[in-house]
Structure 1
Amino acid sequence: MNKFVCFFLFAAFNQAVYASVVITGTRVIYPADAREVSVKLNNKGKRPVLIQSWIDDGDVKAKPETIHVPFVLTPPINRVEPGKGQTLRISYTRQTLPEDRESIYWLNVLEIPAKDPALKQENYLQMAFRSRIKLFFRPTKLEGNANDTAKKIIWRKKGAGITGKNPTPYYASLISITINGKKIDADMIAPFAENTFNISGATGEKISGIYVNDFGAIVEFESQIN
């Protein structure tokens, strides 16, 4: 889950500011036959917050009012009191999406904290925090188990790097890969696609790494390099 500082209200800063809204889960899985899925938010802070939520199709800079995605999210804006929660409901509009593989979108949650009345006479910095997590749309008749995807990647040497080919209909959410002690960050590999990773100087016949499964758990894997 990524956090972004979205805007500043004042230039002088005299107080630490932290995100207080917590999203339950690190990803959303939407089965194609589901009527809706829900995402729970909790305000762990001591002040009320205004929450704006939306779904984008990959453009992190796109404004919510310009985005067109095959989902409806409610409520798009809501106030959450301290210690309370809010449930976001996501429903699929039945717009045609590929049936032979997953599609990916992103859920955005923008937290705008209330002004602290105790500091109304002072200059201070106030920030809005944006959280963004993956939303996977999953057709109902895909073969295999999504949680085994990273273990099925086919690895091949390619020049100074290594190429991973994903032969499954699921996204492989890699975090890192390691060859002979050389470790690098790794990107997600789309269904039926391949990525090349620059891991120059690393030699060996085996590759290991870690990935994130459907439950948000960090899982290790090991594979042969062809």
Structure 2
Amino acid sequence: MKGTKFLISFLILSISTQVVAQTNSAGISAKDALQRLVEGNLRFVQGKSIRPNQSVERVKEVSKKQNPFATIVGCSDSRVPNEIIFDQGLGDLFILRTAGQVSTYASWGSIEFSVAVLGVNLIVVLGHTSCGAVGAACKADDVPGHIIALTNSIKPAAEKVKHMEGDYLDNAVKANVAFQVVSLRKLDPILSKYYNKGQLQIVGAVYDLETGKVNYLSEEYISTITK
């Protein structure tokens, strides 16, 4: 009896999840979501932020449900507050932040939740200039505690650009984002399925700490640097 009840509950949850995803997906395309981010960042850079969806009414509205239009996989750095740099408000962005925007199982599950349950059609992997986590991975020095888990995840990208022309750290930051984009595009079972069907876009970008501008990586760069 308990097994039957569990099965029925599971089926109801699965159906509800599919319905929510389909409903939200119809709300805003990946192209439109990206355009909203680009326009919001432009307002921020120009000092013309409108700070949308930050009213008391909005607080009450999103208390009942959330319907973010994009997922940001970003760095924990205090200088890169996502809602501010993209000029968005409550309920607009689904955000995951770790040093060096390194993703592990809990992060993957959260990202999958945003896509499969909340219906997000756009994921932006957002790195930033002068990233301390990437800088640590570029050095041969040992790091204390669990920080090594972060640097070990970033080292393949750092090694890839070690002998390239230009600033080593800047190159490593970009490469790290590109590697993470490709990793998420291939992540089974959910993200890869949605991405390969064209129902999900996963792009990479780097935030400039000095200018406040978000610069997006080209597909040519991502494919070239991750070969």
Common topology (TM > 0.5): no
Higher normalized helix content (fraction of residues): 2
Instruction: Tell me which protein shows more strand as a share of its residues.
Output: 1
Considering only CA atoms, is the larger Rg found in Structure 1 or Structure 2? 1
The alignment's TM-score, normalised by the length of structure 1, stands at: 0.25
